[in-house]
Structure 1
Amino acid sequence: YMLRIKDGGPILVPDAPNYPLRHVYTGDVVNAVMTLIHTGMGKGKAYNISQDETISLHDFLMMVGELMGLEPHIQVVERQLLEANGFLPECSPFSELWMSELDNTLSKSELGMSYTPLREYLARIITYYTEHPPKSPTGYKRRKAEKSFHSIPKSL
């Protein structure tokens, strides 16, 4: 999403379903694993490791844009059109069926986990990728077509 926001073109997102997002910061995963290793807790149990905040894709994209100092141009498009044109999942990877909203209560109560706030870790990620730009990811290879698609009148 950062590259799409940075290039100023549209961010094509499907109209439905609008799954809630609840991600996890890598550092928090490491802390959870280290807690399990060092304490021996959790044997035979499963814990959901996820951030506290649940956020919509729209709000997530707006937050990323704000942290980048840019306004994202979100274009909501019928899912069927995005699929028919081969844009999904690349144009909006957080719009797929695998998205979930995990309840982290057990990890907090039993393991004493506390999670890095979303805004805080997004700022870290954005700073890192701004200072160390990655090669263009494979999901960006059809970006030119995404931009052209945006210019097609809605009546078509």
Structure 2
Amino acid sequence: MRVLVIGGTRYFGKLVVQKFLSRGDEVSVLSRGNSQPDFWNNITHIEVDRDDAEAMAAALGKDEFDLVIDNIGFERSSVEISADLLRGRVGKYVVTSSVSVYGGIGHSETPWQKITPENHYLHHFTEPGIAHPIAEDSIELSKVEWELRAGINPYSEQKRQIERYLSETTELPFVVLRAPIVIGPSEYAGRFWWYLQRVLDGRGMALRNNGRAEIRLGFTEDIAEAIVAAALSNNTSGKTYNIGQTELLTLKSFVEKIGESCSVEPRIAGVSDDAVKRYPEIPWSDWRYEPFAWPFDVAMSIDRAEADFGLSSAPVAQRIRETIDWHMSADLKDSYGYEYRDIEAELFKVSAQ
């Protein structure tokens, strides 16, 4: 098969390329050429800025592809350029979207947002207590605004716009994959490191909502495998899927699994809302701080992906071990908010009483 990967030089994009190469497929990678992974001599590189429509037209020429995997569609304008050029010339166009389309972590400038008739379709992650798991049809794409709205994270808005655009575009067999927060080896965003560093220092961790937030994670290797499986399946054209690990965890069980893998007993206490208010120095409203703590009791359903293309994943414990190994070998700075560690330790002592 002829496969084009847009954004295949970093993170799980590299793994997607490697998986197609291992199948014997003819793989082209479209990028600016700033990074050249080990497989560079085994692929055709198309060096271009994907946001330059004229340059993209020249670079792609009249090429046709069986599959296009778009891992770096962060803005609607970017996806429009590639989709318009490839319409009628691609067997399937697979776009990696995000759990953030439902709202959630980083969705708004404050953790919870008032529900209005205009934004009611975003309520799943912007109001606590909504039923879960969230199915793919929870979002009414026809009501997604084309204009970016103040107070809402533009990443989430752009991903919704991309999905609406694809759903209304003809002659382009698309597949949308809504990935959860992706962690694993080479994860420099520091989400996993936030918890691992605090488990390792042994000073205790006070988790909001007693660590009961339910999370469906995605580890790089399994996300890459899901992308390839969805692309190759005969059942996926024109559909949207939630993907992620098959195991659903609470935040507390996630931290405990990190401790088990490190042979460390994690010291965990639940922090009350009142206690949070007594420690305003801690950046509670920043999603980078205790990044898996909210939204509360929400997770994506993966039933459709399991049924249509056999979504599966390795045991979370295995992926956690692999991720810890990478973190221990990497030269990492302190995790986000670690300068407040003394205050956190004090909060832990108060919460554990």
TM-score interval, normalised by the smaller of the two chains = 0.7 to 0.9
C-alpha deviation, 1:43, in angstroms? 2.5
SS of 1:93's equivalent in the other structure is coil
Amino acid at match of 1:115: S
Q: Are 1:79 and 2:277 an aligned pair?
A: no
- Larger relative contact order (CA 8 Å, sep ≥ 6): 1
Which residue matches 2:215? 21
C-alpha deviation, 1:36, in angstroms? 3.5
Which residue matches 2:257? 63
Q: What's the Cα RMSD here?
A: 2.6
How far apart in 2 are the matches of 1:154 and 1:7? 17
Aligned length: 155
Q: Are 1:93 and 2:287 an aligned pair?
A: no
How far apart in 2 are the matches of 1:118 and 1:67? 11
SS of 1:115's equivalent in the other structure is coil
Which range moves more in the overlay, 16-25 or 44-53? 16-25
C-alpha deviation, 1:140, in angstroms? 2.0
How far apart in 2 are the matches of 1:133 and 1:75? 29
Amino acid at match of 1:96: W
Name whichever structure is richer in helix by fraction.
1
How far apart in 2 are the matches of 1:153 and 1:22? 26
Name whichever structure is richer in strand by fraction.
2
Change (3 A) 1:154 1:136: closer
Which residue matches 1:147? 345
How far apart in 2 are the matches of 1:81 and 1:36? 45
Q: TM-score normalized by structure 2? A: 0.40
How far apart in 2 are the matches of 1:39 and 1:21? 27
Unmatched tracts of structure 1, length 5 or more: none
How far apart in 2 are the matches of 1:154 and 1:34? 45
Unmatched tracts of structure 2, length 5 or more: 1-194
C-alpha deviation, 1:15, in angstroms? 3.4
Q: Are 1:119 and 2:317 an aligned pair?
A: yes
CA displacement 1:9-40 (0-9 Å, x = unmatched): 11111235822222121212112222344457
Which residue matches 1:31? 225
C-alpha deviation, 1:133, in angstroms? 4.1
SS of 1:138's equivalent in the other structure is coil
Whether the 8 Å contact between 1:23 and 1:51 is mirrored in structure 2 is: yes
How far apart in 1 are the matches of 2:199 and 2:352? 22
Which range moves more in the overlay, 111-120 or 78-87? 78-87
SS of 1:127's equivalent in the other structure is helix
